[in-house]
Each structure stands twice: as C-alpha cells, then as structure tokens.
Structure 1
Amino acid sequence: MDFKRFTGPQAGSQKYDLLTAIAVAGLNGSPGFQTSMLRLVALVTARYNWRNDELTVGQREMARLWSVDERTVKREVKRLTKLEILLQLRPGVRGRVAAYRLNYAEIYRLSEPHWDKVGPDFSARMEVQQPQDAPPAEKVVRVDFAAARSAEPMPPADTPWPRTLARLAQSDPGLYRSWFSGLALESFENGLLMLKAPSAFAAQYVLTHHMRPLHGMAQQEFPGLRRIEIGS
C-alpha cells in the first residue's frame, strides 16, 4: 500500500483531516484508547516533522506535554507501536532519541467506519487521500531482483534479516520496492552487517541516500549493529 505524502497546496487541510481521523477513531474506542489517541493528537500537532515524515521527541518532553511521568510515556509509546499506529524507525540508543512514523494505513483503517459521523465532505476527502493499492513494479525490476536472490538460499522468515525487510516495507512501501527489496544478507559478525545488492549502482545508491532508514530498522533486529556494508 502507498499513501499520499502531506506536501503541496492541500497539505494543510490534509493534516487536519488526518488529525480528525485519529480523533474520531479514538472517540469510538475504549476509554484507554481514547486517552492514547488524545495524547497522539497533541504530540503530532506539536512535534511531528512533516518534511521528514517522522517524530523524534524525547520521553521527558512527551511527559511534560502529556502531564504524566516518563514511565507512563514508555507504556503509551509501547502501546501505540504494538497497535502499529506508530512505526519505530530507529531505536533510542547511546543517548539518541528514538524516531517514529505515523502508520497512515492503520489510521485510515481504524477511522474509516466512523468517517460518516464527521460528515459526507470528510468521507469524500478521505476516500481520495487513503492509501491505494500500488501498481505493480516494472517487470525488469522484478526480474533483476529475483535473479539477484535466486542463487542464494532464502533465510527463514522469522529471522533478523526478513524481519528487517518487513519493517522497511511497512515503513515506506515505495522505497522498499525500489531499493531495499533487492538486498540480500551475506553475514553479520562483530557488529558488521554485510549485504549484497543486485548491482554496484544499487549498492552505492543505498549507501549514499538511504542508509538512515536501513540502519535504523536493522538496528532493531541485529543487536550490537555498528556498521553496514553493501556489495554487489
């Protein structure tokens, strides 16, 4: 599934509609879920980085915004990520703040049964904005990626690398299809993750332009990860 990014002349109204969707989903849930959605609305309104499409806020700042202690913040963030309303992009390690992204597809799914309660105009706009099935990738890309992986045995699904790929696909389906889906695991030793790309160009492009999301997702599945190298 692909979603529309909140850019362009209509971005402001689209953000309001998204916040309305979060709120109406919460209002039609349990009291605990209502509280979670109210906190999320406040956090997104105050601190979401729309340009980078991510949320990087420290627990202390969240606690101050929500008027709770940091233990409550940890529980709330864990709940929102477990519900897949928030997707973790990078863990908070070595004093660095964790990074999260709104899962637009899940927000639309949770709120869709209640759009009509807001009004027909809102329903009509949300039908246009909600994630659509992505068109199939060009055949040459699929063939190249499949061929690049065919010579290597695929690792079991419930192992770190397939789980990393699943995180990348969920976080940004378009980026995953274009650049990450063709990467294959070669080894992981002493904190070094070695990957193989379909071509030297693909390897260099990921290293130059897309290492931040790749490293962040891999770090959650490969404890002790220090560096990623990509060959072809």
Structure 2
Amino acid sequence: MQLARPVGREAASRKYDILSALMAFGLSQDKHVQRQVLRVMALITTRYNWQRDELTMGQGEIARLWSVDERTVKREMARLRARGWLVLKRQGARGRVSTYGMDLNRMLDDTRPAWPLIGEDFMARLDPAAAAGQGGSNVVPLRAVPVPMADGSVWAAAQAWLHAEDPATYGAWFHALSDAGLEANALTLAAPTRFHASYVATNLKEKLLSALRRVDPSVRDVRIVG
C-alpha cells in the first residue's frame, strides 16, 4: 500500500495510526526489536518533520535522547537504514548534520502482521480497499477467508475448527500456515515469515493445539517454523 503523507485535515489521525502500528509491532517482538522500535518512535515524536519528511539531528543529540553513547547511535542508525525505515537524504558535512527521511510505507508494510492486535477498525482504516474486498496486501487478509478444504489430514480438520471459532484470527494467522509433517505425535507447521511463526508460537499456540487435539487427541505438541 502507498500511504499519502500525513498532512492536512487527517494528519493527526494518520500520525497516530503510524505510531500505533509501530507500537503494536514492537510489543509483539523480543526485547531487542522493542528497543529499536522505541528509539524510532522517540525520533519521530521529538524531531521528525512530517510535512517535509526530514529528520535533522546530530549523533550527540540522538545519544542524549536514547541515553546511549554515540557509537551505539551510529550502529543503530545503520541498522535502521538497512531495514529501510530510515533513508539518508543529505550526508552531513563539516558544520552540518545529516538529514534523514522516514519510509512510512515500509514501516507500515513491516508492521502489517501486528495490525489485527489493534482491531478490525484499524485495519480497515489503513487499507480500506482490502477491507472492501478490492485487493490490497496479501499479508493480513482483511476480506473473508473461505472455509478450508477437507483433505483427510489432521491439519485440514483443525483448520475447519479454527475458522468456525474465529474467522478473523484464522484469516490473519492460521490460514497461511502449511502442514510440514506429523512425527512423534508432534505436528510441524510452516509459516510464511519468521515473525509470523514467532507470533503464533508465542500468542496462539494453545489455541492451535486445542483445535488439533479435538481432531486427534494423540497430538501432543505443535511446532511452528518460519
């Protein structure tokens, strides 16, 4: 999706939406990613010029804001550039600091798997075309996902249970999982990304295992790999 720069009458709500997406994504991750997201949010809320897409701030100032040393700032800014969230617009020269831009669309794409944690209204607001069934991203399905086809496997039968219980959660998290084999009473499911696998394993494993045991009580564990 391409987000219009948050200026004009709806600027305030758009800014909150971007920050909300970052917050939900960060809270769903490990402590290292959480810290990185918090640092980005600190830059955005204190010094980022939304209208001009400019962040002009020296490493010393950033170090004070983040309560770290300048070497840490240098490493973290490099990681954010590599991630695509931070874009170097003008290299600093003698007596002048570097100017960066923020790739807000990249941030939203990367945080999209966490949108369901905020709510369906949030998802529909940020991607109304997908919510209306007119296309959009295929990462978080906002339109109805069809009932899984029965093929005689344990996973297909469990999918039907999960879909019947909570179609929204099924569409966002379970639909994309694929059967990677059942061995020693443990089912392995493959997720499309490491984040997807990590989120399901951390937050939805019990729900997943419960559905599997309804279908086959001999299933003792479920593993999610990305």
Q: 1:146-197, CA deviations, whole angstroms, 9 ceiling, x for partnerless residues?
A: xxxxxxxxxxxxxxxxxxxxxxxxxxxxxxxxxxxxxxxxxxxxxxxxxxxx
* 1:5 matched to 2:5: yes
Aligned positions, number: 132
Matched, 1:32 2:61: no
Asked if the contact 2:5/2:51 (under 8 Å) is kept, the reply is no
1:61-118 residue CA offsets vs partner (Å, 9 max, x unmatched): 1111111111111111111001111111111122311111111221111111111101
Partner residue, 1:50:
50
Q: Letter of the aligned partner of 1:81 in structure 2?
A: R
SS at structure 2 position matched to 1:93? coil
Distance of 1:96 and 1:111 partners within structure 2: 33
CA distance 1:35–1:129, shift in 2 (3 Å): farther
CA distance in 2, matches of 1:27, 1:55: 24
CA contact (8 A) 1:58 1:98 kept: yes
**SS of residue paired to 2:88:** strand
- 1:118 corresponds in structure 2 to 118
Instruction: Identify the residue that residue 159 of structure 1 maps to in structure 2.
Output: none
Q: Secondary structure at the match of 1:29?
A: coil
Taking the aligned partners of 1:68 and 1:17, their CA distance within structure 2 comes to 28
Please give the residue correspondences for 1:183-202 in structure 2 after superposition, counting only pairs within 5 Å: none
Maintained 8 Å contact 1:88/1:99: yes
| Structure-to-structure mapping, 1:166-205, within 5 angstroms | none
Question: Post-superposition, which runs of at least 4 consecutive aligned residues in structure 1 deviate over 3 A?
Answer: none
Give the aligned residue type for 2:88.
Answer: Q
- TM-superposed CA distance for 1:128, in Å, is 4.1
Residue of structure 1 equivalent to 2:87 = 87
TM-score normalised by structure 1 residue count: 0.53
Aligned-residue RMSD, C-alpha: 2.1
Q: Shift of residue 129 of structure 1?
A: 9.8
Cα deviation, residue 25, structure 1: 2.1
Percent of residue pairs bearing the same amino acid type: 45
Gaps of 5+ in 1: 134-232
- Mapping of 1:212-223 within 5 angstroms? none
Secondary structure, counterpart of 1:5 in structure 2: coil
Rounded Cα–Cα distance in structure 2 between residues aligned with 1:129 and 1:27: 27
The alpha-carbon distance between structure 1 residues 4 and 73, as it changes in their structure 2 partners (threshold 3 A), is same
Q: 1:128 to 1:102 in 2, by over 3 A?
A: farther
Contact 1:47 1:57 in 2 (8 A): yes
Report the residue type matching 2:27 in the other structure.
Answer: L
Paired letter, 1:98: S
Distance 1:53 1:129, change over 3 A: farther
Q: Secondary structure at the match of 2:100?
A: strand
Compare CA radii of gyration and give the structure with the larger one: 2
Please give the secondary structure, in 1, of the residue aligned with 2:56: coil
Distance in 2 between residues matched to 1:81 and 1:8, nearest whole Å: 28
Distance of 1:63 and 1:128 partners within structure 2: 39
What's the counterpart of residue 201 of structure 1?
none
Q: What SS does structure 2 have at the residue aligned with 1:96? A: coil
1:78 maps to a residue whose letter is: A
Residue 42 of structure 2 is aligned to residue 59 of structure 1 = no
State the alpha-carbon separation in 2 of the partners of residues 117 and 75 from structure 1: 30
1:88/1:101 contact within 8 Å kept = yes
